[in-house]
Amino acid sequence: MSTAATSLDLTAIRAQFPILQQPDPRGRPVIYLDNGASAQKPQRVIDKEIEVYSRHYANAYRGVYEFGQIVDDSVEATRQTVRDLIGAESQEEIVFTSGTTMSLNLVASCWGRHTLKPGDEILLTEMEHHANIVPWQMIAEQTGAVVRYIPLTSDYRLDLSDLPGLITERTKIVAVTGMSNVLGTLVDPRPLADAVHQVGGVLVVDAAQSILHQQHHVVNDGIDFLTFSGHKIYGPSGVGVLYGKREHLEAMPPFLGGGHMIERVFPDHSTWSPPPAKFEAGTLPIAQAIALKPAIEFVQELGYASIQAHEHDLLVKATEQLSEVPGLKIYGPGLDHKGAIVTFTLEGAHPQDLAFLLNKKGVCVRHGHHCTMPLHDKLGLTATVRASFGVYNTAEEVDQLTDALHYARKRLRLS
Ligand code: PLP
């Protein structure tokens, strides 16, 4: 099995994922199309976690004994790999967190407290995940800042026609998704970075979805803060990344207080370690941080260009086939502006019933508001169904999704 557009050997890729080699709990092949929620793990990631626990587990940055040194070096090796992946200038700019949600809360809280004054503006987009809305609302309430939104065009892209009206002297933070987890819309950070830097603000990119599909280069793209989760890039859950430009990490106060983040603790006050330790209070997700490295290497070995070409083929095929299902409506921009996510509704079918019926054919998709209530309100919907693709998905699985949709229509007596 290989794809026409690229040299990717899908049989070899799939063979690396043990979960795809076994039947699901009902004995059927696994047709996993919920990569937007979380991606499956290649054997090398699983092996790495087992290796840490079975061969040299210790806390990180605590012990001078051999195990402790191996753990410290391994965590630092992941930091270096993340730095290479996103083009950061130094590994001190890479902070480990528990995931995108914590990374965004960290930036909102720390950078927000550091910079925001009453009347200042935080600019988001209408298609953000709740993780890139709620922390900003919370800090806005504490500081008197105001949250505003970049609107969407009728074809589900960012409407930047009035950029000077959106990004003004009051704008201190622009926080945008790299790729919508519902519409699949890809966002070019560069024009936003240029505009917000001109008024002295910063650009935050929530790369939770985009990191799986496309290259980010924080320096070339002018990104001040970038966040992602290990579990969405074929890595472990429980570990995430916050990239912050060194000068920002140095300037802002810490998020959590506790062990490891201090330089000196006195009875009445404390001083902070330099970044990244300043933002890594307490025990890290040790094995998870170490096993993030082989996950990123898996992506780097395949290369974003090949991943994108293959996923684009799947997106084109899925869009063509699903568009022919009577009553089915897809939400998202033209295929040149989106990543491999197809979100839809089927007339006469509740999204939950539809997801349930697709599962009867072994197809795993997500239904609901996908943590984007404001976007769903804008679409005039309470819920949708989402098929989200990863690099191991195949053209045959797109056929199986289509067949399952026809089956669901029959079961719901829609045809
Ligand atoms: N941002 C986007 C665009 C997402 O899709 C998600 C998760 O689905 C998140 C943030 C939150 O990620 P996590 O739950 O890993 O913190």
Percent of the chain with pLDDT over 70: 99
347/345 Cα distance (integer angstroms): 6
The answer to whether the beta carbons of residues 341 and 389 sit under 8 Å apart is yes
Q: Output the residue whose Cα is nearest ligand 1's atom 4.
A: 208
- CATH topology for 3-32+303-411 is Aspartate Aminotransferase, domain 1 (3.90.1150)
Residue 346: strand pairing partners = 328, 349
**pLDDT-derived band of residue 1, with 50, 70 and 90 as boundaries?**
low
Which one-letter amino acid corresponds to residue 166?
L
Q: Look up residue 229 and give its two tokens.
A: 């989760």
> What is the average pLDDT across 14-29?
93
SS3 sequence of 255-274: CCCCCCCEEEECCCCEEECC
Residue 225: strand pairing partners = 204, 244
List the CATH code of the domain at 46-300.
3.40.640.10
Distance 238 CA to ligand 1 centre (A): 12
Residue 145: strand pairing partners = none
| Domain extent listing, the chain | 3-32+303-411, 46-300
Find the residues whose C-beta lies inside 6 A of ligand 1.
Answer: 99-101, 129, 131-132, 177, 181, 206, 208-209, 229
The CB-side HSE value for 137 (13 A sphere, CA atoms) comes to 8
Residue range 359-373, pLDDT digits in tens: 999 999 999 999 999
> What is the average pLDDT across 211-228?
96
> What is the average pLDDT across 352-360?
97
90/94 Cα distance (integer angstroms): 8
Q: Look up residue 253 and give its two tokens.
A: 């106060």
> What mean pLDDT value characterizes the chain?
96
Q: Output the residue whose Cα is nearest ligand 1's atom 6.
A: 208
Residue range 237-278, pLDDT digits in tens: 999 999 999 999 999 999 999 999 999 999 999 999 999 999
Largest CA distance in the chain: 74
Mutate to test the pocket of ligand 1, among 35, 181, 182, 372 (most ligand atoms within 8 A of CB): 181
Distance 39 CA to ligand 1 centre (A): 12
Does residue 224 have a pLDDT over 80? yes
374/130 Cα distance (integer angstroms): 9
Q: Output the residue whose Cα is nearest ligand 1's atom 12.
A: 100
Rounded alpha-carbon distances, angstroms, from residue 277 to 37, 65, 291: 29, 20, 19
DSSP codes, 177-195: ESB-TTT-BB--HHHHHHH
Does residue 4 have a pLDDT over 60? no
Q: Which atom of ligand 1 is nearest to the CA of 371?
A: 8
Distance 186 CA to ligand 1 centre (A): 15
Distance 100 CA to ligand 1 centre (A): 6
Q: Which ranges of 16-88 would DSSP assign to H, the alpha helix?
A: 43-55, 66-86
Distance 68 CA to ligand 1 centre (A): 32
- Residue 115 host element (H or E): helix 100-115
Q: Tell me whether residue 110 is one of the annotated catalytic residues.
A: no
Does residue 78 have a pLDDT over 80? yes
Does residue 5 have a pLDDT over 60? no
Q: Which atom of ligand 1 is nearest to the CA of 229?
A: 15
What is the predicted pLDDT for the residue at 7? 78
Q: Locate tokens 């859950």: which residue?
A: 237
What is the predicted pLDDT for the residue at 6? 60
Residue range 135-156, pLDDT digits in tens: 999 999 999 999 999 999 999 9
Percent of the chain with pLDDT over 90: 95
Catalytic choice (371, 379, 391, 408): 371
* Close Cβ partners of 251 (under 8 Å, ≥ 6 residues apart): 114
Q: Look up residue 93 and give its two tokens.
A: 């700019």
